[in-house]
Structure 1
Amino acid sequence: MKLETLQSIRERRSIRAYRPEQISREELDTVLEAGTWAPTGMGRQSPKMVAVQDPETIALLSRLNARVLGSDTDPFYGAPTAVVVFADPEVPTWLEDGSLVMGTLLLAAHAAGLGSCWIHRARQVFETAEGKALMKRWGIPDRFVGVGHCILGYAAGEAPQPKPRKADYIVRD
């Protein structure tokens, strides 16, 4: 049994405060490569990942996300990198495939010593005219749907403590 994998699963937390310095290309490549190994239905590998480190584009993504949220705060928590995961809704397992990529990115980030957090509302962001323009710029087909934003960076503090596991999480027959 790969105990270090279970340890990473137990230790990973959503980080909501980041230092401003950019992560290294090697760290980003490590996380992205892990995402390519996420399980997908029938091995179709239907999701696409867009790695964003340009500060202006990060700021735009954050503003678009905040608009959907109806908030003035930065929903990206100052993270210097975001990986946007898209999936093809013509594939029956598109949502599961994209979600597994997101989960794999989060675990890989922790294993690489990075902070990460799944930021929702990607579907709504990429339904907007501005979101569609970004998709076109990135070469993502118009039919694809945003699954999530995986923000990455160096944590600006300690990871939060885990919540206790609920008593009825597991049901045995």
Structure 2
Amino acid sequence: MDTMKTLLTRQAVRRYPATQITAEQLQQLLQAANAAPVGMGEYDNFHLTVVQSPAVIEQLERFSDRHPYYGAPTVIIVSAKSPGPMELLSIGGIVENMALSATELGLASCDILGAIAMGVAKDSALSRQIGIPTGFQPCFSLAVGQTSAPLSQRTPTTKRITTNFVR
């Protein structure tokens, strides 16, 4: 898939069949995460936690009155040391690289903040249980899974985001 087609096809999906992604697909997502640019190249400031246990995903969701992971069989949590503006910007790149890679693989994905900010980030016991290293704070996550229907390319207009020109 070419870059523009991937960008135009990538979308937030909020319904997943229970079918787990393959080990090869997961490996490509993790490679995409590691290919993301991070502030000052300090990759040691970031940590990925891959959750594929339905019971643990249910624990992550207990902080919400809904199911914020929408039944996705894989959740990838991105944590950072002392997350400030540079780390948060880098996390955006890490998550978007994984989401674009998922799209290229024909997988569905959805960026999830609420379950992290309202839940695991405030529950140090759960953070330890799922292996988030001491000194790291969970910041963002990505739900990933197979898709019930093929993803389709959209044609957004360039007018969605207001733009001004200084020439």
Question: Scaled by the length of structure 1, what TM-score is found?
Answer: 0.83
- Residue 56 (structure 2) pairs with residue 62 (structure 1): no
Provide closer, same or farther for how the CA distance between residues 171 and 133 of structure 1 changes in structure 2, counting only shifts above 3 A: same
* Residue 97 of structure 1, aligned match among 90, 93, 96: 90
Any unmatched runs of 5+ in structure 2?
A: none
Q: Give runs of ≥4 in structure 1 deviating > 4 Å.
A: 158-165
Q: For residues 10-159 of structure 1, what are the structure 2 equivalents within 5 Å? A: 10-45=8-43, 46-64=45-63, 66=64, 71=65, 73-89=66-82, 93-121=86-114, 122-129=116-123, 132-159=124-151
Structure 1 residues not aligned, in runs of 5+: none
Structure 1 residues 50 and 162: alpha-carbon distance in aligned structure 2, compared to 1, 3 A threshold: farther
Q: What SS does the aligned partner of 1:31 have?
A: helix
- C-alpha distance 92-158 of structure 1, shift in aligned 2 (>3 A): closer
**Matching residue within 151, 154, 172 for 2:165:** 172
Q: CA contact under 8 A between 2:132 and 2:138: conserved in structure 1?
A: no
Contact 2:21/2:74 (8 A) holds in 1: yes
Do 1:62 and 1:75's aligned partners in 2 also have CA atoms closer than 8 Å?
yes
CA RMSD after TM alignment: 2.2
Identity of paired residues, percent? 28
